[in-house]
Amino acid sequence: MKSFLGIDWGGTYIKAGVVNDRGKILKKIVYVSKSLTDKKAFVDNVILMVKDLRSFKIKAVGIGAPGIINLKKGFIYYLPNIPGWKNFPLKSVLRKKLKMPVFIDNDANAFG
């Protein structure tokens, strides 16, 4: 069975859920991160989540981020609530490190 990791990236928390290919929620996680402004720390947190959830055999990661994002490129132009996040290629960085598909969109669009 295929599983996917969905991440809701807020100003204080990272909320994540593992769902199967039928949309059933298999696990919910909330990470409190004091280092959301640090790009490397955020990337490391996502990698750690995937490693911690390896028993679910995750096939792809989707992230809803609170800001201005190029959907096709997964490029973050600006996150108004999280200082330090401007002009960063999050999708390509995570894809290289995770070796799986990564999708990034504005959190309001992802919620819809």
Q: What is the pLDDT of residues 21-49, one digit of tens each?
A: 998 999 998 887 666 778 888 898 889 88
- Read off the pLDDT of each residue in 87-106 and give the average, rounded to a whole number: 95
pLDDT of 112 higher than 80:
no
Bridge partners (DSSP) listed for residue 69: 76
Bridge partners (DSSP) listed for residue 66: none
> What Cα–Cα distance (Å) separates residue 3 from each residue in 10, 11, 54, 69?
23, 26, 10, 25
What DSSP designation does 82 have? S
- For residue 84, the model assigns a pLDDT of 85
Euclidean distance between CA atoms 37 and 3, whole angstroms? 28
Contact 98, 50 (CB under 8 A): yes
Q: What is the pTM of this model?
A: 0.89
